[in-house]
Amino acid sequence: MIAIENISKIFKTKSGTVVGVDNVSLTIEKGEIYGIVGYSGAGKSTLIRCINVLERPTTGKVIIDGVDLLSLSDKALRQERQSIGMIFQGFYLVSSKTVFDNIAFALKAAGMEKRKRKERVLELLELVGLSDKVDHYPAQLSGGQKQRVSIARALANNPKVLLCDEATSALDPSTTKSILKLLKKINQELGITIVIITHEMEVVKEICDRCAVMQDGKVIEEGQSYDIFAEPTKPLTKQFIKSVLDFELPQKLVEACTGTLVQLQFRGNLASEAVVSDMLQKHKVSGNILHGKVEYIKETPLGIFIMELNGEQSEIDGAIRYLEDRIQQVEVIQ
């Protein structure tokens, strides 16, 4: 439903030109939660701002539900933007307005009459779990509550897309989780397509169906989040994944090992113990689990185990072949 075609954005500055986004093409499906990951300066914000044409790309096309946004008149573009909500790391609430007025303002701007506005604001506050804060001012709210208000405001005019630029980056881990849970609910219950920019792989792990990794203005890797976690190909992607799935063994432990170290990756179903115990029964090796971790990538498990195998080399080779036939990824690490 969102098609970004060969988007580039080149900034002209006093000291020369800066490439913000470099020939990016992406398709984001209706109802999907899509993550865009990268370090600071990778071009994420510039790209997401091109989606609602807050930034006009130097070249390329942005097509939402068949409408080519860059070909629209200013008036038609303003109208089309109503269907795209956006939230930011810094919330951008108006500090002199109450929670109610911060949200009602968006409805007023869209021309909704007063009585309807009140009804809608209360409905939105209920959705984001802030019904008791209707008359509070932003300064009286926590970071998580402020972000909830900005989500309510972004959803006020029933958008079909919600763009989130580092929406959880200023929040602590448990508040981040609660905001991600709210975004998931909004996606599931209202069917809103969500595009999330983040430098935190945890965010992708929690809620993104698919994701893209950006570096130097380019998308360097893209796919189902699960596949990216299970089998990252680019060094930068591997680095991001490591922040969540870190499984480096302590050097001392590695040095003390006399046998063969194998790393096993289990995807989807975790019938891991059965495979490992069968392997131990069928081959004359002893196995010692040194490390095990299971992460859930948007509810689907991904497990990593490191085992030390001891025994005759031919038995160990046989055991490894047995595992290779049954497990997605088996790697001899020492």
Ligand X SMILES: Nc1ncnc2c1ncn2[C@@H]1O[C@H](COP(=O)(O)OP(=O)(O)O)[C@@H](O)[C@H]1O
Determine, following the binding rule CB under 5 A, whether residue 89 of this chain makes contact with Mg ion: no
In Å, how far from its chain's centre is CA 306?
A: 28
Question: Toward ligand X, which CB reaches closer, 41 or 259?
Answer: 41
C-beta of 45 vs 52, nearer to Mg ion: 45
- Closest contact distance (angstroms) between CB of 288 and ligand X is 44
252 neighbors 265 (Cβ within 8 angstroms): no
Whole-number Cα distances in Å, 203 to 30, 93, 164, 191, 212: 20, 23, 12, 19, 13
- Identity of the residue, 107 or 214, whose beta carbon is nearer to ligand X in the bound complex: 214
Among 327, 281, 279, CA closest to 305: 327
Query: Looking at beta carbons only, is 20 or 287 nearer to ligand X?
Result: 20
What are the structure tokens assigned to 100, written together? 């109610």
Site for ligand X in 23-52 (CB under 6 A): 38, 40-46
> CB nearest Mg ion: which residue?
45
Q: Which does 18 bind (CB under 5 to 8 A by kind): ligand X, Mg ion, none?
A: ligand X
Residues in the chain: 334
Amino acid in position 91: F
Binders of ligand X among residues 193 to 222 (CB under 6 A) are none
Nearer to ligand X, 54 or 280 (CB): 54
Strands of the sheet with 260-267, listed across from one edge: 285-297, 300-311, 260-267, 329-332
| Residue span 16-45 as binding mask against Mg ion, x where in contact by CB under 5 A, dash where not | -----------------------------x
Q: Reduced to 3 states, what is the DSSP secondary structure of residue 332?
A: strand
Size of the site for Mg ion (CB under 5 A): 1
Q: What is the rounded (10 degree) CA torsion for 136, 111, 80, 138?
A: -10
Contacts of ligand X in 5-24 (CB under 6 A) = 11, 13, 18, 20
CB of 144 to ligand X, least distance (A): 22
What are the φ/ψ torsions at residue 240 (nearest 5 degrees)? -65, -45
Question: Quick one: 45 or 102, whose CB is closer to Mg ion?
Answer: 45
Closest distance to ligand X from the beta carbon of 328 (Å) = 32
- Neighbour count for residue 91 (Cβ, 10 Å): 20
> Which one of Mg ion, ligand X, none is in contact with 130 (Cβ closer than 5 to 8 A by kind)?
none
Contact residues for 81 (Cβ-Cβ < 8 A; gap 6+): 52, 53
Q: How many residues bind ligand X (CB under 6 A)?
A: 12
Residues that bind Mg ion (CB under 5 A): 45
